Chain A
Amino acid sequence: MIDQSKIDVFPSQHDGYPADLAVLDTPGAMREAFADAARDFPDSLWVEPSRWAEVAAENDRLGLWPENYRARRTNQNPTHECTCHALVQCMEIAWNRQQRMKLSGGEDFRTVAGIGTPVYFSVLSIYAEANPRIRGGANLQTVIGIAIRRGFLPDKIQPQSDYRFAHTLTGTNGRGNAHQSAGAWVPVRDFPSGWEQTARHFRPIEVINPESYEQMISLVLNGICVVVGRSGHSIPYVRWHADEKVMEYSDSYDVARYDSLATVKRAVGGAYAIVSTTVPNDWRRPAG
């Protein structure tokens, strides 16, 4: 049973996606930001609304939600990094889903059961460029555009110790947690020398701008995380609860919350979904 107090929560401090920036995230602007990564919503991913409950039940049974490929939570508090925390969650889920890895554990942190190489990405590696002024947030087209163009740096904390990345960066300028490194602000000019050579290996390759809430729900039903921005805050949708008709998201405050269907409908426009990411020559060496 879903805690009703966690549905449609819009705290006043959720201001990393301010209205003046949000208004710029039109479908056309999003597609332009995607550049070569822009993809139309394919018919193959469409799920008829009449089948949502059936497919949701199947996802519950088989563990096929975006939520099932989420390895950790993040914590941005008290920064304005929400757009990049949501982006990182979406990227990590896409990365993990391609490997079809089995993640198990609690809600906040999961480990791989069997084979899989999850990577934690640095929120700061995107946000530092999206908003060098630190405070004030960013819009979705800017952060996804940066990620597509030059990629993420890995977080200093990784779920596995044998990746030996040549370049890493502090995960967040916010609070972070046991699975997200936190630290002082790092301007782009202070990124480790040659960082681009590592970041290029971690880019979204195919990105969709869903044109309707039905497409957003269809994507989630297909295991694809959808990032939206609404009410001043950006979040990643990870599971559709068909009975309650609410969308679960992994909020960047170390917590799960939910959007009602009405809120989901409002989130259409600047939303995006990362369908595929760069793929390494060998999953065991994510950065080549």
Chain B
Amino acid sequence: MSRASIFVVAMLIAAVAAAQSPKAVVTGPKDARCGSLVVLDASESVGTGRLWLLAVSPEETSFLPVESALKCIMASPTPGAYTFVLVVAGTNQNGGPAADMATHTVTLRGSDPPPKPPPDDPPVTPTKIDRVTYVYEKDETAVPREVGAALTKISQAGTIFATEFERDGKTGLDEIPVQYRIALEAALKAGLPCLVVQSGDTVVRTVKAPRTEAEVMEALR
């Protein structure tokens, strides 16, 4: 506190010596963001005069008492602790001059970083479909012509194994071929005939009883 401030305080105390016993009360935020307007309130105080002082601050900062010093307004771009002193003058029980003092510290925080944009939708990793199988039982259904043609078109494109598998198919060792085990299981679960679309060992989707080329192509999307 500067000498000038102390002198003013002393004069204020002397001037109001005859007033009632003073009581200094400061209410207001203890925490704020840099740059925001901080309003301290002394209206709960008892006394005839009020003086606001800034006792501690990270740098020279302006503040503005308003409404006959019932309130004090400050703002600063600099983070740190700002300690205000409120001196309230009045009189003691003997009618002599008296003063009360209260401190209030506001801590300014650095500006919050700009809010993160809402997260985008999770990046879509295109599912790499590498196998499509029409699983059927010939005693129940033939391979629909358009489905057969669609499988050929897909094979021709050169990136997806597009084949058919008859339910009774087996290897030379009389086992279910490894390359069709997952498709067969998925198809039997969905019901035959069934188109099974795979990405590696993962079944991407099953399409029950497709009949058209469009249905097959749609299943690959």
Give the interface of A toward B (CB within 8 A). 39-40, 42, 44-45, 55, 58-59, 62-64, 97-102, 113-116, 151, 200-203, 205-206, 222-223, 275-276, 278-283, 287-288
Contacts and interface: CB of A to CB of B under 8 A. Distances in A.
Given A202-B172, A205-B169, A282 B178 contact: yes
Given A278-B170, A278-B172, A281-B177, A42 B138 contact: yes
Contacts, number: 110
A280 B171 contact: yes
Interface stretch (B22-30, B86-94, B121-129, B147-155): B147-155
B152 A63 contact: yes
A100 B164 contact: yes
Contacts of A223: 143, 148
17 contacts: A42-B138, A44-B140, A102-B155, A113-B156, A115-B155, A115-B158, A151-B172, A201-B172, A205-B168, A205-B169, A279-B177, A280-B171, A280-B179, A282-B178, A283-B179, A288-B171, A288-B173
B139 interface: yes
B138 A206 contact: yes
Given A100-B164, A114-B155, A201 B171 contact: yes
B171 A115 contact: no
Given A206-B166, A283-B163, A44 B139 contact: yes
Contacts of B178: 281-282
Nearest to B180: A279
The 4 nearest A-B residue pairs measured at CB:
A201-B172, A62-B149, A100-B151, A102-B156
B138 A45 contact: yes
B68 interface: no
A44 B141 contact: yes
B162 interface: yes
Nearest to B162: A100
Contacts of A97: 164
B182 to A, nearest CB: 13
B148 A100 contact: yes
Contacts of A275: 138, 166
Contact of B161 (A40, A115, A222): A115
A211 B47 CA distance: 119
Contact of A200 (B141, B159, B166, B173): B173
A62 B155 contact: no
Interface in B101-157: 138-143, 145-146, 148-149, 151-153, 155-157
